[in-house]
């Protein structure tokens, strides 16, 4: 009983501000998207990967990895959640409501396979799904509109959300569609499920599973990948 992985890679990378979308920038001579896909292809029990790219993407077809029979490419939408929903729509014919679907950002090439295996293991009997994340380590302040610090928030209950995120297909598709219809702002899959009243599980990953977002993240990600090789 395997699972599919959806990889949203249809963003333009505005915060990176490079001359091409950030997933096509290279880390140690290989594109970020290739790093991410090569790692995902090593997952046990993987049925296949749906990579969601921008309709005008001129780069993906240049990458040899797209000849891999386990990889399928489709077009994305305006927001990240539209891209993920397009992925779910293409998988619909293959899936039953209780089947697992994983979502992983193209822009997170440094995740460790062992963490994903732990996520899968911890979700074994779970009815909804869960995500990798890490506890906040800094002291967290809540501000007013004038940068005045109003309070220190109890950080013991605060965690940063990462991907992979993994959910039962039925609840994920239903929650994402509802959130979109109701105009609820969602930046990850879990937030759509939370808004629908579900309680996804948090599984502790590691801090170096960074989302490559800004220029300074590039040398950081290169270093993390090098350290992981040893």
CB of 79 to Mg ion, least distance (A): 8
Tokens of 11: 């963003």
* # chain residues binding Mg ion, by CB under 5 A: 1
CB of 155 to Mg ion, least distance (A): 26
Residues 2-21, interacting with Mg ion (CB under 5 A) = 11
Q: Which residue is nearest to Mg ion (CB)?
A: 11
CB of 24 to ligand CTP, least distance (A): 10
C-alpha torsion angle, residues 86, 92, 93, 99 (rounded to 10):
140
Question: Considering CB distances under 5 to 8 angstroms, the limit depending on partner class, which of Mg ion, ligand CTP, none binds residue 116?
Answer: none
Contact 6, 102 (CB under 8 A): yes
Q: How far apart are CA 146 and CA 154, in angstroms?
A: 22
Burial class (CB in 10 A: 0-12, 13-18, 19+), 51: buried
Closer residue to ligand CTP, CB minimum distance, 7 or 120: 7
Question: Considering CB distances under 5 to 8 angstroms, the limit depending on partner class, which of Mg ion, ligand CTP, none binds residue 211?
Answer: ligand CTP
Closer residue to Mg ion, CB minimum distance, 88 or 106: 106
Closer residue to ligand CTP, CB minimum distance, 45 or 58: 58
Closer residue to Mg ion, CB minimum distance, 11 or 205: 11
- For residue 132, give every residue at least 6 positions away whose Cβ sits within 8 Å of its Cβ, in sequence order, or none: 111, 115, 116, 119, 162, 163, 164, 165, 203, 204, 205, 209
Tokens of 149: 């610090």
Q: Which residues bind ligand CTP (CB under 6 A)?
A: 8-15, 23, 52, 76-80, 83, 105-107, 211, 213
CB of 105 to Mg ion, least distance (A): 10
Tokens of 141: 């302040």
CB of 130 to ligand CTP, least distance (A): 19
Residue 110, helix vs strand vs coil: coil
Positions touching Mg ion (CB under 5 A) are: 11
């Amino acid at each position: 009983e395997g699972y599919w992985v959806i990889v949203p890679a249809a963003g333009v990378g505005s915060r990176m501000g490079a001359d091409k979308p950030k997933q096509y920038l290279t880390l140690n001579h290989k594109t970020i998207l290739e790093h991410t896909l090569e790692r995902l292809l090593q997952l046990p029990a993987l049925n296949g990967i749906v990579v969601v790219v921008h309709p005008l993407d001129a780069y993906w077809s240049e990458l040899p990895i797209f000849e891999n029979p386990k990889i399928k490419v489709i077009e994305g939408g305006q927001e990240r959640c539209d891209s993920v929903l397009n992925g779910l729509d293409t998988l619909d014919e293959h899936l039953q409501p209780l089947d697992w679907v994983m979502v992983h950002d193209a822009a997170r090439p440094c995740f460790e396979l062992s963490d994903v295996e732990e996520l899968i293991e911890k979700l074994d009997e779970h009815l909804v799904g869960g995500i990798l994340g890490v506890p906040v380590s800094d002291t967290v302040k809540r501000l007013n509109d004038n940068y005045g610090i109003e309070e220190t928030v109890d950080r013991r209950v605060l965690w940063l959300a990462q991907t992979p995120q993994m959910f039962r297909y039925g609840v994920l598709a239903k929650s994402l569609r509802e959130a979109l219809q109701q105009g609820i702002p969602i930046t990850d899959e879990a937030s759509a499920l939370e808004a629908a009243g579900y309680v996804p599980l948090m599984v502790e990953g590691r801090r170096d599973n960074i989302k490559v977002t800004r220029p300074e993240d590039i040398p950081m990600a290169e270093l993390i990948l090098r350290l992981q090789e040893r």
